Amino acid sequence: MRRTFAEVLREGKIEIEDEYRELYRLVYFPPSSSCPLRSIIKSVFRYFPFRGTCVDLFDFDRKYGFQVETMPETVDEECLVTFSEYYYNFIVALEKLQRERDDIPPVDEIYKNQIDAIVEELGYMKVQDEDGIITFVVKDPGAVAVAESEIIPQSLSYRVLEYNHHSWKGNIEKKKQALLMFAEILEPQRAELQSISKELCDDVFFAFNNMNIRHNNIAQSTPSKYRKVIAMMEAEEMEKWYDEVYQMCLLACLELANVERKNKFSQFKEQMLR
């Protein structure tokens, strides 16, 4: 039976609350005489490109629902990851501003190093989207291999990894859009995938066509597409099935990516046996 991520963390004796408390203390009450990171961000907030129309940091937090100024009563891994993402993006933006302006206060490397250490300890990895925003997602060797393969366009590779981000939990529509992306990528290679693994190919495209991904399978007004089981399914169960389809898509991409490797190895074997 698959273990939950929380169970993995407990087995690894990673103290989430302690990690949060130490990072919180570092951000607001640095051990050295340097200016607290929060204060630096406030003082130069107007220069951050992602501030949008927010006039100050308080306005930014209020608009986007960030609650980072007070220590929460309970802390879980999502809370720690969100807190880390929040300040990591500001640190990266500060570093960029320092290269462009002379009036930006220096930021101690300890902040970024601490977050990097936490991310590594948790088993997460950094993913950067097309706007340069960094998120932390659970390391998935299969997802990483697919994202780095030639099967996935470079402009979409981050979306393969982003599926595992904690903010996607419970967001059926986002996950559906990710599966649609896979459908678009795999469709032109369907015949090749069929020749490699017919069963996998049939299952993947059955899911695309019958699980309310490519077609409306929940509207009785289209009898040919309507699937009662899908229409009656609770959102939580549907999300679990979408997660399974995501794993099947990763496997399909890995099978396709392995064709060239297999051909090269076959040639290599022939050379050795001559």
pLDDT tens, position by position, 215-236: 999 999 989 999 999 999 999 9
Select, from the ranges 1-15, 132-146, 157-171, 201-215, the one with the highest average predicted confidence (pLDDT): 201-215
Flag whether pLDDT at 77 surpasses 50.
yes
pLDDT at 9: 47
Flag whether pLDDT at 72 surpasses 80.
yes
Q: What is the mean pLDDT of the chain?
A: 90
Name the band, by pLDDT with cuts 50, 70 and 90, for residue 7. Answer: low
Cα 211 from Cα 2, distance rounded (Å): 23
Sign (positive/negative) of CA torsion 248, 249, 253, 256? positive
pLDDT at 4: 54
pLDDT at 263: 81
pLDDT at 155: 83
> pTM, whole model, 2 decimals?
0.75
Flag whether pLDDT at 6 surpasses 60.
no
Flag whether pLDDT at 268 surpasses 70.
yes
Which whole number is the average pLDDT over 155-180? 91
Which whole number is the average pLDDT over 130-158? 89
pLDDT at 33: 65
Which whole number is the average pLDDT over 147-165? 88
Percent of the chain with pLDDT over 70: 95
pLDDT at 141: 87
Flag whether pLDDT at 247 surpasses 90.
yes
pLDDT at 156: 87
In terms of residues, how long is the chain?
Answer: 274
Flag whether pLDDT at 10 surpasses 70.
no
The residue with greater pLDDT, 83 or 165, is 83
Give the tens place of pLDDT for each residue, 38-66: 999 999 999 999 999 999 999 999 999 99
